[in-house]
Amino acid sequence: MQIFDIIAVLIFFSGLFIFLNTFYLKLPSSIGLSILALLLSFLVLIFGLAFPQFHLAEHVKAYDMEDVLIRFVLSVMLFAGALNIDFGKLGKQLVPVIVLAFFGVLISTFVIGTFVYYMLDFMNIELSYLGALIFGALISSTDPVAVTKMIQRHQLSNELENKISGESLLNGGIAIVLALVLMSLYKEQAITGALSLGGSIWVFLRDLGGGLIVGLFFGWLGYQALKYIDNDEAQVEVLITMALVMVGSYVANYLNVSSMLVAVLSGLVIRNSEKSSDGESAVGAYVFKFWQLMEESMAAMLFVLIGFEMLVIPLRLDYFAAGFFALNIVLFARWISVFLPIKFLANTHAFDKGTVSVLSWGALRGGLPVAVSLSLTGFPGQEIIVTMTYVVVVCSVLYQGLTLGKLVRSYQAQQYPSHQMKV
């Protein structure tokens, strides 16, 4: 199966899923697509068992999706997400958002990785501690598209809306960057045989420091090109931003630095660079709409990939049991990763009552963890990571997504604007 065959299949099912959800299911996109992906999982499994002569599973497993997922899908989604982060609009919520996103991901990664490692060891399933940390990082990524849709459906305070939307947008980028940096650490360890503390620090400095420099350079380069183009020339601006993402990813991979960090920083620099005298940003409204469409299209394609995961993951009962245990660990880690930063910030920043509950339960997992787990080609333990990711993402979207409205209504009923949240 060629790359264009894969893309054609993904686009076809993505369009079909969106059509069915829009006109028949009429559910929030992440929930509707997740239900359809789950249905697709069972259909492809039954088809594969009923017609083994088509070798459907072998075709899917034979294709290495690492390059397409990392160098295109993830770069596009992270650039689009970063392009939506306006530091100016966050105002007083900027510091809480950055602290929640950055330290929240670190706390969540460590908690999930540690608990999952010992859980799997107890179940006699082999996975290294580094592999458990990689799973902890990738599954800490929340779905900004789903969170944004949730905010639009419910009337929340402006402060809480800014915290939720800002944290979800930054969270995804930080978690994915961390997961891939940890993967680079594993690759370096595999090459050298053993990795010292100095070697580990070098990998982090190379990936993150190099990605920081390259990302800031491409963001500056893109801004310099875009600021001289009239915003009415939408097609030119779209082509420039697309070229920026593609070339930035290529250069990052060539220099062996984090391409995901390059995509995130390029989007942040372009969005938050100095505006013109009439308040216009470097890119026009059409460009933002284009990248929003790209992000949502990629998210739909990743939900289709969730459906095809059933052909990739081994049908082992202990792996699925580990996934359900991991779901509870992920929920607990999310609560801890929200509670501790808010506890630290509560003395200097105001938080509405119920912020911890809404931020914790509203953290739906989406396609980003799926993309990273499928891109771990050749990693020992990929099968258990992919299986746990599949279970956590599907259960998170369905269970949290279907009950989130009730939690938000409860939050709205208890909210008193004159009171500050006590944690």
Residue 131 has pLDDT above 90, yes or no: yes
Residue 423 has pLDDT above 50, yes or no: no
Please give the average per-residue pLDDT across 167-183, as a whole number: 89
Q: What is each CA distance from 338 to 38, 179, 205, 314, 363, in whole angstroms?
A: 29, 19, 27, 34, 10
Residue 406 has pLDDT above 90, yes or no: no
The pLDDT assigned to 116 comes to 97
Per-domain boundaries in the chain: 66-414
Instruction: Work out the pLDDT band at 408, boundaries 50, 70, 90.
Output: confident
CA-nearest of 121, 111, 122, 117 to 132 is 117
pLDDT digits (tens, 9 = 90+) for 240-292: 999 999 999 999 988 989 888 999 999 999 988 866 555 567 778 888 899 98
d(CA 407, CA 230): 45
pLDDT digits (tens, 9 = 90+) for 47-56: 777 877 766 6
Residue 419 has pLDDT above 50, yes or no: no
Q: What pTM was computed for the model?
A: 0.86
pLDDT digits (tens, 9 = 90+) for 112-125: 999 999 999 999 99
The pLDDT assigned to 195 comes to 67
The pLDDT assigned to 20 comes to 92
Residue 87 has pLDDT above 80, yes or no: yes
Query: Which tokens is 156 given?
Result: 């929340």
Please give the average per-residue pLDDT across 218-227, as a whole number: 91
pLDDT digits (tens, 9 = 90+) for 353-386: 778 888 888 888 877 898 888 888 778 888 899 8
Instruction: Work out the pLDDT band at 110, boundaries 50, 70, 90.
Output: very high
pLDDT digits (tens, 9 = 90+) for 57-67: 666 666 666 66
Q: What is the mean pLDDT of the chain?
A: 84
CA-nearest of 368, 338, 328 to 108 is 338
Residue 196 has pLDDT above 60, yes or no: yes
Answer whether 296's CB lies under 8 Å from 144's CB. Answer: no
Please give the average per-residue pLDDT across 84-112, as a whole number: 89
Q: Which residue has the higher pLDDT, 420 or 281?
A: 281
Q: What is the fold of 66-414?
A: Na+/H+ antiporter like fold (1.20.1530)
Task: For residue 197, count other CB atoms closer than 10 A to its CB.
Answer: 7
d(CA 257, CA 205): 9
Choose the weakest-confidence range: 269-273, 335-339, 416-420. 416-420
Q: Which residue has the higher pLDDT, 297 or 135?
A: 135
Percent of residues, the chain, with pLDDT higher than 70: 87
* Range among 104-118, 294-308, 385-399 rated most confident: 104-118
- Region of residue 71 (left: phi > 0; alpha: psi -120 to 50; beta: else): alpha
